[in-house]
Structure formats: structure tokens, C-alpha cells
Amino acid sequence: MKRNLGYIKAVFLLLLVGLLYGFAAERHKGRKISEVKVKFTDSENLYVTEQVVNKLLIQNNSSVSGIDKETLDLNRVESLLNEHEMIENAEVYLTLDGKLRAEVSQRKPIGRVVGNSSFYLDKNGELMPLSQFYTARVPLMFGFDGSNVKKAYGIVNHIKNDEFLTRHITGINRLKGDKYILELRELDFELYFGDSNNVALKFNNFKAFYKKAQKENKLDTYKKVNLQFGDQVVCTKK
């Protein structure tokens, strides 16, 4: 008799736990999203704003409070964010207390094409549209279009990743045959780069030349500095 009573109590407890769990699960599913928060992971320059991301997060609904957890399709919302032309990657999740979170990495421009059509070249060598919210301070690129801009990616990317070059080089002009002239921020001589081969060597030669000429106070005495030969810097005086 005592054994049967113990079985009955055990079954009753299991049923009670199951009912409580089911009730809690249903209540959790039906809870409304109480807050939406967007975190931009690695940049203060907003090529896409929090308001734009919020609109995508709530799937074009006018009020977050009107959406419950079951209604929100996280995979769909995450896909919408990742399809946005200014976003490189987005991760969307819900916290246990019903808050919607999104961590967003923006695309990063390294050069800006100026001409009949204007756009950025991003850090992955892909074309990126201009933003209505922010203008990146990157070298301007003249004489380019979508068909040839990627050929200069190695040059632009090297500039972006070098503090000295970023400080001094403001523009790139494309010539016929995919040869390039670089524009400098303060100096008025022409910096002829040639083609996009031996990028690191050419820039190292330029930095060595700059340091030596600056020490000798001769930077203003040149009208052209030619880096195209790779193993040497050829200078033409004014």
C-alpha cells in the first residue's frame, strides 16, 4: 500500500512539473518583445543607421511592442540585415527577458570612385554604394568605373593599411593601360606609380625616398617622382 502511494505521488509530481513547464513555455512564447537594441561592432561611422536596422528588425511593423516571440522569425530578419548593401555581417538573437539584440558589422570602404558613377571600393575589393548618412575619408579615385576599379585594389588596400600612406596620399588617377598617378596631401610633385605590380616594394621605396628628402629639405625641389621601376626611385627636379 505504501509502495503504491509512493508511485501515485511520483506520477502526480511528474504531471505537475509537466503542466508548470508547459504553462511557462506557452507564456514565454507569448511574451512581447520589450526592447530592441542594435550594436555596431567596430565603427563609429554609420553608413547605415540604427533606425534603418530597427526597421528591418521589426519586419516593417510600426511598433515593436506589437510583436511576440513566436511571430518574429529571427532567421528571416537576420537574412534581411545581411542582404543590406551597407552591412557586412549581422547576428540577431533574443534574450531570456524578451529583448531583441542585433550585432552589426558594417562594410568598410577604402577608396571612393568619383565620376559619372560614384561608389566606394570596400576592404574586400567589392563595389559599395555611397551612404546618405556618412562620407568616408578615403582616397578619391579618378578615371575609374566598375569594370576596372578592382585592378587598383592592391594599391588602395595597401594605402589603407599603412598609417604613413593614409596620412599623405589623397587620390589615385587612372591613366590608359591601367597605370596610376598618386596625389599627395601637401606636396605638389607628381607621384607616378606605374602599374599595380610590386605594390609593397614601390611604397617602401617611396617612404625611404620621402624620409631622406625630408631630412635633406629637398621635398619641394622635385616636380615628378617615378616609382614604376620597382627597384629604384627616379626623380625629376623643377
Q: Round to whole Å and give the CA distance between 21 and 61.
A: 31
pLDDT, one tens digit per residue, over 198-237 is: 999 999 999 999 999 999 999 999 999 999 997 889 999 9
Contact 155, 129 (CB under 8 A): no
pLDDT at 194 over 80: yes
Predicted model pTM? 0.79
Cell of 152: 587598383
Cell of 136: 568616408
Q: Round to whole Å and give the CA distance between 120 and 122.
A: 6
Residue 173, strand partner residues: 142, 181
pLDDT at 58: 66
Contact 125, 153 (CB under 8 A): yes
pLDDT, one tens digit per residue, over 97-112 is: 778 888 999 999 999 9
Place of cell 524578451: 98
Contact 71, 59 (CB under 8 A): no
Task: Fill in the DSSP letter of residue 67.
Answer: -
Cell of 151: 585592378
Alpha helices in the chain (DSSP H): 2-30, 50-57, 74-82, 153-160, 163-168, 199-215
Q: What is each CA distance from 107 to 4, 40, 45, 68, 128, in whole angstroms?
A: 67, 11, 11, 31, 8
pLDDT, one tens digit per residue, over 45-104 is: 788 888 888 877 765 444 444 455 555 677 887 888 899 999 999 998 888 777 888 899
Structural domains present in the chain: 32-106 (3.10.20.310), 109-237 (3.40.50)
User: 12-21, 49-58, 186-195 — which one is most confidently predicted on average?
Assistant: 186-195
